[in-house]
Amino acid sequence: MSASEIADYGLLSDCASAALVSRNGSIDWWCPGRFDAPSVFGRLLDADAGHWTLCPVAASDRPAEREYVEDSLVLRTVHHSGDGAVAVTEGLVAEPGARGHELGRNSPMVLARVVEGLTGTVRMRCEYVPRPDYGLIVPYLHCRDGQVLADAGPLTLHLYSPVPLDCAHGRAYAEFDVSAGQVLGFHLASAPAYGPPPQRLDPAPALAETVEAWRVIRELHPYAGRYPELVRRSALVVQGLTYRPSGAVVAAVTMSLPARLGGTENYDYRYAWLRDFILTMRALWVTTCPEDTGRLFDWAGRSAGRTGDEPVPIMYGVTGERDLSEYSLDHLHGYAGSRPVRVGNDAWRQRQHDVPGVLIGAYLLRDELRPLSDESKALFAGLAEQATHWREPDAGMWEDRGPGRHYVASKAMCWGALDSAVKLAPIIGSHADPERWAAVRDEIRATLLRDGWNDRVGAYTGVIGSPELDASVLVMPGTGIVPATDPRMRATIEAIATNLMTDDGLVRRWPDDPAGFVACTFWLVECLAMAGETERAAALFERTAARANDLGLFAEQIDPRTGEHLGNTPLALSHVGLIGAAWRLTKPEFD
């Protein structure tokens, strides 16, 4: 059996790692301990890379119904068969007693699944096929005392089952009946191979505790704007993509899911991008308490460290790792045959001019400007100096792997970096050079508004001197370099809405982009709202929000022909885009 469609997966998270479970009850992705750890279930990328299925034996014409329990990331799925119905409630459990922001700081690395008979008697099957290290390891399975021990490589996996399982050839299997009112709990614990075994727990109370931990997070994060239910769901997803020990927010929990089926642009997104940082900070500011924004900001500053002549890396591992060198897993066939399957991401080596603006601008979003340490003052001054190199080409927002080019959005972010640095000069102190920074800032604006505009196209284009439209320029009004109401910016917004919009109403990044990009569509919503077209913006917002899957999750892109989600999932930038657009519709003047 192959992987399900990308939109068919639900997210489970303990704010340290994540699992994906399909509607038919198969956990096809889990990387215990850290988002970027090797998978133990990887059927998402290869039929033989591991899974854990728990579902009725007999298929039903009636699709399963699922929802998250009380605004948590604990999932409840109701399966139907000709003989009755069962519910499976599952999640990555919280550490005992954790509440709110304590969730994930010391994850027990336990995946719990509780089967409850609702009506009749349903024949169920449990198929457990662990394949650690991205499917490279076929472990020995030992079945004894209600436990299946998978022993191979750096981890041991302990599956505690209320029904006996037959073990053979790295696979454990059982069929069993569940009657109305009957409750059976399974749980799978991961532990280091050379450490103590994990403690056994009771799955049902553990999941109830986990729901309570998530409930406290929601109570800490009131939201008083438009579309509150949609915003709260996206905020919960962003929380689920947060590596709580450090505060980093990963771009997605998956790797190598393709933007084009069968294509080769399949990248590992289980890291934290500074490019997305200011948008994520803004989303957290809108929907969460200051602790989240503070921890994320502190993580970014610590990860960036001391700046020099070399550009600040655009991305990091969840605890600040810089070297994210890329390699291919040639033994995996890839999602829908999309190869290569990549681990790591060589974009960490790229120069992107937006990074300084992202870091300095994010500081201005904080509720209060706390005093900067000497190290932070030097960091901000160094970032401002890097922005003065705006005339150099870079890889751009979409991380083109060819020669550097002069991207309009990148230079707009250099303007934003210097504009923010000038405002912060009194706080930066002796490290600051506000007069020179202001002069370079003004030079960038004059150059960009002159040379970034293409008379033949009638719009600001993606690259200076190029006739090709690019949705990245939709970030320009948000930087402050040009308002959305400016006639040229207004013409650019219309050109993008006319020429980059797919037939199903999503915005492509560029004309040959294979699918609509969810975040870019929400950026267009913001631009329309800032331009005063609130009703048009709201209609586009609602059409786009309706493209989420049944659990409110977005991948990176959506195929305009099939409506299928494409790219890594769930994508933080898509959900951050929804939050930003909803808040912009609430407060058009927000920046």
Same domain membership, residue 232 and residue 187: no
pLDDT digits (tens, 9 = 90+) for 257-288: 999 999 999 999 999 998 787 788 788 777 76
> How many whole angstroms separate alpha carbon 454 and alpha carbon 169?
63
pLDDT recorded at residue 234 = 95
pLDDT: which is higher, 290 or 50: 50
pLDDT digits (tens, 9 = 90+) for 209-261: 999 999 887 777 778 899 999 999 999 999 999 999 998 999 999 999 999 99
What CATH number is associated with residue 492? Answer: 1.50.10.10
Among 5-9, 166-170, 342-346, 521-525, where is mean pLDDT lowest?
A: 166-170
Same domain membership, residue 206 and residue 225: no
Residue 190's H or E segment, with its range, is strand 183-192
Of the pLDDT bands very low, low, confident and very high (cuts 50, 70, 90), residue 370 is low
The structure tokens 């885009």 sit at: 577
Of the pLDDT bands very low, low, confident and very high (cuts 50, 70, 90), residue 323 is very high
The answer as to whether 1 is a domain residue is no
Of the pLDDT bands very low, low, confident and very high (cuts 50, 70, 90), residue 406 is very high
Of the pLDDT bands very low, low, confident and very high (cuts 50, 70, 90), residue 309 is low
Q: Could you tell me if 554 and 569 are in contact, meaning their C-beta atoms sit under 8 angstroms apart?
A: yes
The answer as to whether 274 is a domain residue is yes
**Nearest CA to 54 among 73, 84, 30, 79?**
79
Q: Could you tell me if 278 and 584 are in contact, meaning their C-beta atoms sit under 8 angstroms apart?
A: no
Q: What is the DSSP string of 89-116?
A: EEEEPPPTT--GGGTTTT---EEEEEEE
Q: Would the pLDDT of 84 be above 80?
A: yes
Which of 217, 244, 273 terminates a domain? The answer is 217
Of the pLDDT bands very low, low, confident and very high (cuts 50, 70, 90), residue 16 is very high
Which of 199, 217, 235 terminates a domain? The answer is 217
pLDDT recorded at residue 130 = 98
Find the angle CA(230)-CA(235)-CA(238) to the nearest 5 degrees: 130
Q: Could you tell me if 3 and 28 are in contact, meaning their C-beta atoms sit under 8 angstroms apart?
A: yes
The structure tokens 């290869």 sit at: 46
Of the pLDDT bands very low, low, confident and very high (cuts 50, 70, 90), residue 356 is confident
> How many whole angstroms separate alpha carbon 432 and alpha carbon 414?
16
**Nearest CA to 44 among 78, 82, 87, 11?**
11
Count of domains for the chain: 2
Same domain membership, residue 343 and residue 268: yes
Domain extent for 356: 221-586
Provide, rounded to the nearest whole percent, the portion of the chain with pLDDT above 70.
96
Q: Read off the tokens for 578.
A: 């929804």
Q: Would the pLDDT of 111 be above 60?
A: yes
What number is the average pLDDT over the span 412-424?
92
Same domain membership, residue 301 and residue 286: yes
The answer as to whether 591 is a domain residue is no
Q: What is the DSSP string of 319-358?
A: T-------EE-TT---GGG----EES-GGGG---THHHHH
The answer as to whether 137 is a domain residue is yes
What number is the average pLDDT over the span 34-51?
98
Which of 184, 217, 250 terminates a domain? The answer is 217
What number is the average pLDDT over the span 329-338?
97
What number is the average pLDDT over the span 29-54?
97
Bridge partner list, 460 = 453
Among 48-57, 146-155, 547-556, where is mean pLDDT lowest?
A: 146-155
pLDDT digits (tens, 9 = 90+) for 555-585: 999 999 999 999 999 999 999 999 999 999 9
Which residues have a Cβ under 8 Å from the Cβ of 190 and sit 6 or more positions away? 32, 33, 40, 109, 110, 155, 156, 157, 158, 198
Mean pLDDT of the chain: 92
Compute how many other C-beta atoms are within 10 angstroms of the C-beta atom of residue 401: 10
Same domain membership, residue 199 and residue 258: no
Bridge partner list, 463 = 407
User: By CB neighbour count within 10 A (0-12 exposed, 13-18 middle, 19+ buried), where does 359 fall?
Assistant: buried
Whole-structure pTM value: 0.95
**Chain centre distance of CA 271:** 9
Same domain membership, residue 247 and residue 198: no
Same domain membership, residue 522 and residue 543: yes
Same domain membership, residue 377 and residue 365: yes
According to the per-residue pLDDT averaged within each range, which of 139-148, 227-236, 422-431 is highest?
227-236
Same domain membership, residue 227 and residue 207: no
Q: Would the pLDDT of 367 be above 60?
A: no
Q: Would the pLDDT of 300 be above 70?
A: yes
Same domain membership, residue 271 and residue 170: no
Q: Would the pLDDT of 1 be above 70?
A: no
Same domain membership, residue 42 and residue 66: yes
Q: Read off the tokens for 193.
A: 């191979």
Residue 565's H or E segment, with its range, is strand 565-566
Find the angle CA(508)-CA(509)-CA(510) to the nearest 5 degrees: 90
pLDDT recorded at residue 291 = 65
Same domain membership, residue 136 and residue 281: no
What CATH number is associated with residue 84? Answer: 2.70.98.10
